């Protein structure tokens, strides 16, 4: 991994960010996870390489394998993580990127998420079954959803999961798998993000913009960014939000949805993450570029 061309974005409006660090994997990016507490970024490339990028931008760990990684989820402190590989494998991974254990899933997997301490993982399957694991053994719980869940996120302050199902349905489940609410976006969904307390759910609704829902699933409006919104990530408190469009624009939003910065990029981001304090964003691109942009926090 080496540093690369820093001219990958250009400011269109607002206060320009500081480029904290930038790396190229030299291979297509397959998956990315962000550790909110440690500030580490874990990335996987298309040929089975996995990397830990420290908060400073240095590479802390590197591992090579023949795995076809399709999804990553990591604990907040970076101590452990989970990886989807192939059609139906779930790996438990240590901080040094060695594999602790592997489970064969009963059906092809769609998404994986980790709760903050890395003690539990949830995996959604293509047949609508969803599994909650508390270690490399039989699942602790399982539940079925009407439609397969394509995106998953554990809540940070409550025992629950927010998810996106096929056809743009936003839903929330308790830790036993009981549905608490669901809302139809009437839109395709590219991505979603949940504030740490679960009070705000932001959905990248493509042509419908950035859709907003509260903790009970009620719609609380939308942010129109002048493009087709495909990626979103919000800070822990929701005071800052990063969003990307298919028109290859990056946006940095304030707590009320006001656009603080817009930048033009050379490629649409494949992954976005937001610093928990709202200090910056991490961008991952399919060409293997991973970078962190930062702003001073003024509110």
Lowest mean pLDDT among 8-12, 51-55, 125-129, 211-215: 8-12
Collapsed DSSP state (helix, strand, coil) of residue 164: strand
Band of pLDDT at residue 3, cut at 50, 70 and 90? very low
Architecture of domain 11-294: 7 Propeller (2.130)
List the end-to-end C-alpha distance of the chain, in Å, as a whole number.
36
- What is the per-residue pLDDT for 113? 98
Look at 6-10, 74-78, 131-135, 273-277 and tell me which has the smallest mean pLDDT. Answer: 6-10
Taking the C-alpha atoms of residue 233 and residue 227, their distance in angstroms, rounded to an integer, is 16
The pLDDT, as a whole number, for residue 6 is: 62
> Among 98, 172, 102, which Cα is nearest to 133's?
102
Q: Is the pLDDT of residue 298 over 80?
A: no
E strand or H helix that includes residue 169: strand 169-174
**Given CA atoms 35, 228, 192, 252 in this order, what sign does their dihedral have?**
positive
Does the pLDDT at position 299 exceed 80? no
pLDDT tens-digit readout, 166-184: 889 999 999 999 999 999 9
| Per-residue pLDDT tens over the stretch 11-31 | 889 999 999 999 999 999 999
Query: Mean of the pLDDT values across residues 278-282?
Result: 97
Q: Give CA–CA dist 16/294, Å, rounded.
A: 9
For residue 290, is pLDDT > 50?
yes
Q: Which residue has the tokens 């307390």?
A: 197
| pLDDT number for residue 2 | 40
Q: Would you state the structure tokens that stand for residue 198, as one six-digit string?
A: 């679960």
CA distances from 209 to 13, 212, 242 (A): 19, 10, 13
pLDDT of 97-130, one tens digit each?
A: 999 999 999 999 999 999 999 999 999 999 999 9
Q: How far is CA 20 from CA 49, 81, 177, 260, 282, in A?
A: 23, 24, 40, 18, 10
Closest CA to 129 of 117, 116, 141: 141
Neighbours of 261 (CB within 10 A): 20
Express as a percent the part of the chain with pLDDT over 90.
89
Give the chain's mean pLDDT: 94
pLDDT (0 to 100) of residue 197: 77
What confidence score (pLDDT) does residue 20 get? 96
Find the range with the poorest average confidence among 7-11, 61-65, 93-97, 148-152: 7-11
The model's pTM: 0.94
Q: Which two tokens stand for residue 116?
A: 């903050």
User: DSSP assignment, residue 98?
Assistant: -
Q: What whole-number distance in Å separates Cα of residue 199 and Cα of residue 215?
A: 4
- Whether 137 has a pLDDT exceeding 90, the answer reads no
| Percent of the chain scoring above 70 in pLDDT | 97
pLDDT at 8: 87
pLDDT of residue 232: 98
């Amino acid at each position: 991994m080496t540093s690369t061309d820093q001219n990958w974005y250009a400011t269109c409006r607002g206060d320009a960010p500081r480029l904290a660090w930038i790396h190229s994997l030299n291979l297509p990016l397959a998956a990315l996870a962000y550790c909110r507490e440690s500030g580490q970024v874990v990335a996987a490339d298309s040929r089975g390489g996995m990397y830990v990028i420290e908060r400073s931008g240095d590479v802390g760990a590197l591992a090579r394998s023949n795995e076809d990684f399709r999804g990553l989820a990591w604990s907040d402190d970076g101590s452990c993580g989970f990886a989807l590989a192939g059609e139906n494998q779930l790996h438990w991974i240590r901080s040094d990127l060695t594999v602790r254990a592997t489970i064969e899933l009963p059906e092809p997997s769609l998404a994986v998420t980790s709760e903050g301490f890395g003690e539990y993982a949830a995996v959604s399957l293509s047949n609508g079954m969803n599994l909650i694991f508390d270690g490399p053994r039989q699942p602790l719980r399982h539940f079925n959803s009407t439609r397969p869940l394509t995106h998953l996120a554990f809540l940070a302050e409550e025992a629950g999961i927010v998810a996106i199902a096929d056809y743009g349905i936003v839903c929330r489940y308790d830790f036993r798998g009981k549905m608490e609410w669901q809302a139809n976006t009437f839109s395709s969904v590219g991505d979603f993000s949940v504030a740490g307390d679960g009070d705000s759910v932001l959905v990248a609704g493509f042509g419908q913009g950035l859709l907003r829902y509260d903790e009970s699933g009620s719609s609380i409006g939308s942010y129109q960014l002048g493009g087709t919104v495909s990626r979103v990530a919000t800070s822990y408190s929701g005071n800052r939000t990063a969003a990307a469009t298919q028109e290859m624009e990056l946006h940095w939003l304030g707590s009320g949805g006001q656009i603080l910065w817009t930048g033009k990029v050379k490629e649409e981001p494949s992954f976005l993450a937001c610093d928990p304090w709202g200090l910056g964003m991490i961008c991952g691109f399919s060409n293997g570029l991973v970078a962190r942009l930062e702003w001073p926090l003024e509110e």
